[in-house]
Chains A and B, each alone.
Chain A
Amino acid sequence: MDIGDIKLYVDDRPDDGVFRVHRKLFSDAELHELEHKYIFERTWCFLGLDTQMPRPNDFITGYIGRTSVIVARDAKGGLGAFLNACRHKGALVCRTESGNAKYLVCGYHGWAYNTAGKNVNIKDRDAGCYGESFDADSHDLIPLPRFESYKGLLFGSLCADVPPLHEFLGEITALLDLAMDQGPQGMEFIPGRITYTYDANWKLQMDNGNDYYHLTSTHPSLMAVVERREQARAGNVEARQFDWSKRFTQQGGMFTFSNGHTSTWLNQGQPENRPIFATLGEAKQRVGHTRAEWMLKLRNLTIFPNMQIADSTSLLIRTFRPLAVDKTEMRVWCLAPIGEAPEVRAWRLRQFEDFFNVSGMATPDDTTLYEDAQVGFQAQGLEWLQGYQRGTTAVVPGPNASAAELGMHPVASVQGPYDMQNETCFHAPYREWARLMQAGATGRKPYGHKA
């Protein structure tokens, strides 16, 4: 392996039916440093939802890779995004994850900014004997080079050379719409902070979010609990969800997209066990019959590099942010229609806690296995991973009939019985990983060329 030819870490030979990923993608600290430089710092990353900041001077903080970022609604109601670092000595200006403040004041030397990022006070400036060159500099918070939103989803980029957000998302917007159009009054994050870490590489979460193959072996303990609720009406029926055993008879598939985005889907045999079911009539009138019916299917999306939407039990948005090659920070939010009926909202919460919480009964089994994999990645005899091949002969280029229903043009599609538990959905993210890494390593801009 040669770090100067990074694309070789993804063995991608479609004509030979080969797609392999090298274990060093998950375990090599040198490669990981380059991921920050060439991926996280050169593409769009998800920062939050506009409805988190309903009032003037509301702000949230988050991260793009290792960079702390402020997103704020200014006094006039406009949204902006800035580096969360004081121009004076670099200290964090906002020290909480959310808040409301007319002025953002650094705690260290007291420099103050308004919520549009403009410096409004340099403490004791007049007596400071500053020279002309200081006065000539801007002292405002540094705005992110790019900051845009799609249907309330806020994204920022530390690099100006990225396509417009809408173009970056491309055809997967058809699937984003199925999440963001569920409420007639828009969507919101249900209050409550769920943040956790696991001791393994960030791409384990990237894969697992679209991985149907692991469910029967990783989560049988939860399946046993759900089955008992369903059949014996015993246990915590307040968190009732579909019976997992019924999914094995369903049709499903995947769509991959440009710029590394991917998705998987599965028909849902018990649509009445979805919180959206009660208001589906309203949704049909608003978005049409076909799109509303698609809201009932299980859908998992990855917006490369590190944001996912899972609409499986309840509706989740998550980010997975590398803290090190072998440590990842997870933030998860429960996304819900604004104005949802109280009893549906409570049911949605119980589903979310049961399945998605790290204190729930599914996610702990995932995080534990990520950590097992991270140990395994140290095995010096192990080179290529074989977990990217299921479904290879089922791939069709472009849209299939299911994509056409949504008027969507993915790069590739797969459809078939659940048992296929397709893994070609992972190809798009790793192709994009290789493309961006190679572009960085060879001194090219991240977008506007093909590898």
Chain B
Amino acid sequence: MSQAELGKDVVLREAAYLDERRWDDWLDLFTEQCEYWVPSWLTEETLSTDPQKEISHIYYANRSGLEDRILRIRSNRSPATQPLRRTTHIIGGILATAITETDMQLRSSWACHVFEQRHKKVNTLFGHAQYRLQRRGDTWLIAAKKTILQNDYLPSMVDIYCI
């Protein structure tokens, strides 16, 4: 595979592992220092730009925040997480926007269909995402992910596997 194809493979795996609840495999896709950011919208037209000064839906400066999420899911003590929502991510529009020997940037379009089993409800969250990957030997890891949530009038709850 070309480097761009390897990058695209990471983006697809990131979504697939969430749907397949392969939490450890999912965490392993990220570097320890990865920034994970879902910015809020400031207005109908403007997205927030500074997570230190503006609210985010989710902001983690490193992977530990993602580890918290998995700990919570695995605790089996979160009512919102039992039974876990079934999800299917549809990923498209992947473009590699910059590639060097060590870094790669990609963007994707995503939709996540969510089935909430308890109340028999279906909703869809959608948007696009920007990835910055870093090369680690023969593989690429996610060093930063910024998820733009287009429908931010949110239904009941959102977790990392719904976006």
Residues in chain A near residue B51, CB distance under 8 A? 346, 349
Shortest distance between the CB of A326 and any CB in chain B (Å): 11
Binary per-residue interface labels of chain A (218-245) against chain B in the complex, 1 for a CB within 8 Å, 0 otherwise: 1011101100110000111111000000
Q: Which of A99, A190, A194, A357 has the most CB of B within 10 A?
A: A357
Task: Tell me the bound Cα distance from A50 to B117 in angstroms.
Answer: 42
Contact of B156 among A192, A194, A228, A371 (CB under 8 A): A371
Report the stretch among A140-148, A154-162, A303-311, A362-370 that lies at the interface.
A362-370
Task: Tell me the bound Cα distance from A350 to B57 in angstroms.
Answer: 10
Contact of A191 among B53, B57, B60 (CB under 8 A): B53
Task: Tell me the bound Cα distance from A450 to B31 in angstroms.
Answer: 64
Contact B153 A224 (CB under 8 A): no
Task: Tell me the bound Cα distance from A363 to B118 in angstroms.
Answer: 17
Contact of B152 among A193, A363, A375 (CB under 8 A): A193
Contact of A353 among B57, B72, B78 (CB under 8 A): B57
Residues in chain A near residue B156, CB distance under 8 A? 196-199, 358, 364, 367-368, 371
Contact A228 B57 (CB under 8 A): no
Task: Please give the number of chain A residues whose Cβ is less than 8 angstroms from any Cβ of chain B in the complex.
Answer: 50
Contact A224 B55 (CB under 8 A): no
Contact B158 A358 (CB under 8 A): yes
Contact A224 B57 (CB under 8 A): no
Contact A368 B72 (CB under 8 A): no
Contact A196 B68 (CB under 8 A): no
Contact A365 B80 (CB under 8 A): yes
Contact A225 B157 (CB under 8 A): no
Binary per-residue interface labels of chain B (91-103) against chain A in the complex, 1 for a CB within 8 Å, 0 otherwise: 0000000000000
Chain A: which residue is nearest B153 at the CB level? Answer: A195
B32 close to chain A: CB less than 8 A: no
Contact of B159 among A235, A236, A364, A372 (CB under 8 A): A364
Given contacts A96-B43, A197-B155, contact A190 B54 (CB under 8 A): yes
Shortest distance between the CB of A191 and any CB in chain B (Å): 5
Residues in chain A near residue B81, CB distance under 8 A? 221, 364
Contact B154 A225 (CB under 8 A): no
Residues in chain B near residue A363, CB distance under 8 A? 157
Shortest distance between the CB of B73 and any CB in chain A (Å): 8
Chain A: which residue is nearest B154 at the CB level? Answer: A196
Residues in chain A near residue B75, CB distance under 8 A? 220-221, 224
Shortest distance between the CB of A294 and any CB in chain B (Å): 26
Task: Tell me the bound Cα distance from A319 to B118 in angstroms.
Answer: 26
Given contacts A220-B75, A235-B71, A361-B69, contact A197 B43 (CB under 8 A): no
Chain B: which residue is nearest A367 at the CB level? Answer: B156
Residues in chain A near residue B155, CB distance under 8 A? 196-197
Contact B58 A221 (CB under 8 A): no
Task: Tell me the bound Cα distance from A236 to B61 in angstroms.
Answer: 8
Residues in chain B near residue A194, CB distance under 8 A? 40, 55, 57
Residues in chain A near residue B136, CB distance under 8 A? none
Task: Tell me the bound Cα distance from A179 to B158 in angstroms.
Answer: 29
Given contacts A235-B71, A365-B78, A368-B157, contact A192 B55 (CB under 8 A): yes
Given contacts A195-B154, A199-B121, A363-B157, contact A357 B43 (CB under 8 A): no
Contact of A199 among B38, B53, B79, B119 (CB under 8 A): B119
Task: Tell me the bound Cα distance from A239 to B36 in angstroms.
Answer: 14
Contact A192 B44 (CB under 8 A): no
Contact A225 B72 (CB under 8 A): yes
Chain B: which residue is nearest A347 at the CB level? Answer: B52
B24 close to chain A: CB less than 8 A: no
Residues in chain B near residue A342, CB distance under 8 A? 52-53
Interface, chain B (partner A; CB < 8 A): 38-44, 48, 51-61, 64-65, 67-69, 71-72, 75, 77-81, 118-119, 121, 152-159
The 4 closest A-B pairs by CB, nearest first: A192-B55, A364-B157, A192-B40, A221-B78
What are 18 A-B contacts defined by CB distance under 8 Å? A192-B41, A193-B43, A193-B152, A197-B153, A197-B156, A199-B119, A225-B68, A235-B67, A342-B52, A349-B54, A353-B59, A359-B154, A367-B80, A367-B157, A368-B79, A368-B118, A371-B118, A372-B118
